[in-house]
Structure 1
Amino acid sequence: MDTVREYGLFAEGERVVVAVSGGADSVALLDLLVNLQELGLYLVVAHLNHQLRGSESDGDEEFVVRLADSYKLPVEARRVDVRKLARRQRLSLEEAGRVARYRFFDEIAATHGARCVALAHHADDQAETVLLRLLRGAGGSGLAAMRPRSADGRYVRPLLRVSRREIEEYLAGRNLSCRTDSSNSDTSFLRNRVRHELLPFLAGYNGRIASQLATTAEMLAADEELMEQVVAAAFTRYGVFENGESILNMEGVSAEPRGLRLRLYRHALRLVKGNLARIGFVHLHAIDRLLHDAGTGASLDLPDGTRVKRGYGQLIFTIGGREELSREWEVVVEGAGSYNLPGGTVLVVEHGEVPTNLREIKPTVVYLDAERVPFPLHVRNFRPGDRFAPLGMAGHKKVKELFIDCKIPRDRRWRVPLVFSMSRLVWVAGVRPAAEACLTPSTADVLKVEILGLMP
């Protein structure tokens, strides 16, 4: 697997979550990683049942569980009503499924202390993604599409240079079976129309169109890596990110070429917002007009509560409610009960019993050894420098690094309560408990702590 070696996707002996749908690509990926014996990876199979195809979806889940068992690997399977999620969050079925999958993968990785999640995207998927983004309107960063390793290192794609035909040949050679998703032929989905109609049409002009598009994406990704370094250096010269705000020096930024200015705006927005969802060229162009043509005090409202304000010689990027969330707060918990916390969350503390199945516990609930976590508890928001020894990880880790690993957006980190006992951090609520505070076979007094109202 050249991609694994070239990009150093895995470290020897590390834990890796493998996303397995049951389809040909994910079955091939799992088999390849199992047989990558020189690395000795500890694999955890993860399968999300979207509940969109009734018994067919359930059959996929059963297949994956049996497959994992045949390799003697641990498996995590969960069911999510994606159609209900789409209605609730006003998303398309495709986007709701994607949101549910990545949320699930992040939780499983955190539970097992895995650094990365292996996805089975291949070269034909890459070609489809390039065309989809081209149809929707994208610049160089968008057309770079998927990368073998995501920017944060969380997701890896070992098969990104492998074609669908090569995967099918591999399965045949290994005599491996797989599941076929009937929804992949439903052309009401745009991606399926691109796969079954547009790509075959373009193949009439270039028989290797899928391979060429994937190669183009890889070349653009290399350019993007270089540009990201240039932008980061420019932001160091002209900008600062503190207390949840990005601030750019207008004089320095305005002297730069327009291409770099627009990328600086993207960088500043990503720091504040945590992502660039719903941010398009029209918004970047509007920010550039704010820089050059507006007066001091003028502002611009962008999607998801993001705002850009022109100050005295500065462009200030913020997000709604940031001032409240970044303000330091602390609540003392004297004993069992319900406690209202800033940001709209509620902490519920009660004495309980050892749960029958620790794997089924929601991330918003933790069971602690009461003797090792004496009252009073102190609950506060995140401060720079906070660190602890998280469950499932070796040694200590900065809370900021844990947030990055678990993909907690920057605009939500200030809302996540941190629970302390005797000055020791025992739980990053909804994210990870401390190893020293968890239950042991000798635990006699169990403390159940739950956080309500925490944004996912």
Structure 2
Amino acid sequence: MLRKVNSYIWTHRLISPGDAIVVAVSGGADSVALLDILAGLKSLRLRLVVAHLNHCLRGAESDADEAFVRDLADSYGIPFVAKAVDVGALSRQEKLSLEEAGRLARYSFFRELAADCKAGSVAVAHHADDQAETVLMRLIRGAGGSGLCAMSATTAGLIIRPLLSVTRNEIESYLEKKGLNYRTDSSNTDLEFLRNRIRNELIPFLKTYNPAITDRLAATASALAEDEKIVEAVTATAFTDHASMGTDEISVSVAGARLEARGIRIRMYRQALQLLKGDLSTVTAAHLNHVDSLLLSRKPNGRITLSRSIVVMRCYDRLIFTSRKEGRPDPFVLQVEGPGSYAIPGGVLSVAFTHSPSSWKDVPAHIVYVDMDAVPFPWRIRNFRAGDVFTPLGLGGTKKVKDLFIDRKVPVPSRHRIPLFFSGDTLFWVGGIMPSESGRITGATTSVLKVEIVASQA
């Protein structure tokens, strides 16, 4: 078994001399073997730290596990760090299963500890049987090729899995020959957990069809992983061509994405969600199908909310993935008494006396010139309300502001952030979009005002 593990480590370049590694140790057979193997690589001069998360689910048994791992780390002379997390409370708070909550807590702890210890990797004890179970679990829940690849030798440049090529039986034989003790988690036999049912019921049943089912499933995952590398390269190119990234959102060209095959589109959505969320633990095939339906819809606007407050919005020609809570902003009403500078939502308003511009063609959308006598002070500035109507400059007749927004393809979430300018009850400027006939400069105008919205740089 040692030869297999060492070969796997070198083939996948998991470890280099002098590496600092956090070793995740639960106290079970797999993690005890992992620690013993890594501690035995004396020639590599590894700097190891043993990490143990107490899930606080089994009372005294959980505490005994922690004490066992602490003593184990001491026996190797390796630093030990433990953390207790009430996984049951986390499960209820985040509306996750106990399995998902435990995984979230563990990997959050491992990442934090790796950063604190300046460790380049976190070694976990997943093995070939875990791989087979993961393939079946994802198949049952519904997964495509990327999901059925299951676990890889490395994840996100941090997690390494040195034992992925060996089986549970090989690990237990190794521990028996070396006389190493380990803890047995009583919850491993709890058939309320899907993984336990797969391990204790489904795989033994499948072995009646093929005694080597575990090896076959692991080999299938490996073959799919090789194919997935090709698809990932194509997806990366498509993502570069059609997506752009902001601080808390990712925008995808609707027209560009529609040119791609559906399989590539689905993987683009996965990549966008991975970048926003940091993982895909709660993203399902149904979520991705809903996103694709939004992109292909004939309706120019729409939105869906995915897990953990991730929102996907269709805004005309863009599909926007965002982790922001895109609620409607609070209504605002501001008073402008005369020329000067005023703070408005999203920027600053400047109002000053001036002359008519030499060319009306060169006036940008965020500036308007008005006849002060036609739109006397005080002005009111407020956001859009249903039923707002004005008389667009040069178009004749009245128009609903909502229809203007539709014509100009203003995204729905942005409409209530646009300031509307009123003199009395007369709407004379839909800020940054279109002026009204009401403030129009004529040959009889004696006082010209330049009104400018300067967007905030924050």
TM range (shorter): 0.5 to 0.7
Against the structure 1 CA distance between its residues 267 and 70, is the aligned structure 2 distance closer, same or farther, given a 3 Å change threshold? same
- Counterpart-to-counterpart distance in 2, 1:139 and 1:213: 15
The CA distance in 1 between the partners of 2:106 and 2:275, in whole Å, is 24
| Residue pairs, 1:17-96, within 5 angstroms | 17-96=22-101
Amino acid in structure 2 at the alignment position of 1:319: S
8 A Cα contact 1:116 1:153, kept in partner: yes
Instruction: Indicate conservation of the 8 Å contact 2:248/2:324, yes or no.
Output: no
Match of 2:321 in 1: 317
**1:165 aligned to 2:201?**
no
- Partner Cα distance (2:236, 2:291) in 1: 19
C-alpha offsets along residues 206-262 of structure 1, whole Å, 9 cap, x if unaligned?
001011111111222222233222211111111211232212222222122111122
Find the counterpart in structure 1 of residue 132 from structure 2. 127
Residue of structure 1 aligned with 2:235, choices 217, 231, 235? 231
Compared with structure 1, are the counterparts of its residues 299 and 62 closer, same or farther at alpha carbon in structure 2 (3 Å cutoff)?
closer
Q: Partners of 2:91 and 2:260 in 1: how far apart?
A: 42
Q: Which has more radius of gyration?
A: 2
Check whether the contact 1:297–1:310 (CA below 8 A) recurs between aligned residues.
yes
Q: Does 1:178 align with 2:182?
A: yes
The corresponding residue for 1:110 is 115
Q: Is the contact between residue 244 and residue 322 of structure 1 (CA under 8 Å) also seen in structure 2?
A: no
SS at structure 1 position matched to 2:154: coil
CA distance in 1, matches of 2:290, 2:212: 39
The structure-2 alpha-carbon separation of the partners of 1:173 and 1:90, relative to structure 1 and needing over 3 Å to count, comes to same
Q: Which amino acid aligns with 2:31?
A: S
Cα distance between partner residues in 2 of 1:193 and 1:78: 28
> Which of 301, 306, 313 pairs up with 2:310?
306
Give structure 1 stretches of 5+ with no counterpart. 325-456
| TM-score, length-scaled by structure 1 | 0.67
Q: Which amino acid aligns with 1:292?
A: L
Query: Percent identity between the aligned chains?
Result: 53
Q: SS where residue 311 of structure 2 aligns? A: strand
Shift in CA distance, 56/263, structure 1 to aligned 2, threshold 3 Å: same
Letter of the structure 2 residue corresponding to residue 265 of structure 1: Y
- Which of 172, 192, 199 is the matching residue for 2:203? 199
Paired with 2:62 and 2:308, the residues of 1 have a C-alpha distance of: 33
Q: Name the CA distance, whole Å, in 2 between partners of 1:186 and 1:273.
A: 30
Change in 2 beyond 3 A, CA 1:51/1:303 = closer
Gaps of 5+ in 2: 1-5, 329-458
Change (3 A) 1:314 1:100: closer
Distance across 2 between alignment mates of 1:295 and 1:78: 49
Deviations 1:89-146 (A, max 9, x none): 3332222222221122122212211111100011111111111111111111111111
Whether 1:219 and 2:223 are equivalent positions in the alignment is yes
Code of the residue aligned with 2:206 in structure 1: it is: L
Among residues 135, 156, 159, which one is paired with 1:155 in the alignment? 159
Partner letter of residue 70 of structure 1?
S
What is the CA deviation profile of residues 309-357 of structure 1, one whole-angstrom value per residue up to 9, with x for unaligned ones?
3334322222333799xxxxxxxxxxxxxxxxxxxxxxxxxxxxxxxxx
Residues 129/228 of structure 1: CA separation in 2 closer, same or farther (3 Å cut): same
1:252 aligns with 2:270: no
Whether the 8 Å contact between 1:127 and 1:213 is mirrored in structure 2 is yes
Alpha-carbon distance in 2 for matches of 1:28, 1:303: 36
Q: Pick which of 179-188 and 15-24 moved more.
A: 179-188
Q: Secondary structure of the residue that 1:269 maps to in structure 2?
A: helix
Could you tell me whether the CA contact under 8 Å between 1:241 and 1:271 is conserved in 2? no
CA spacing shift, 1:33–1:236, aligned 2, 3 Å = same
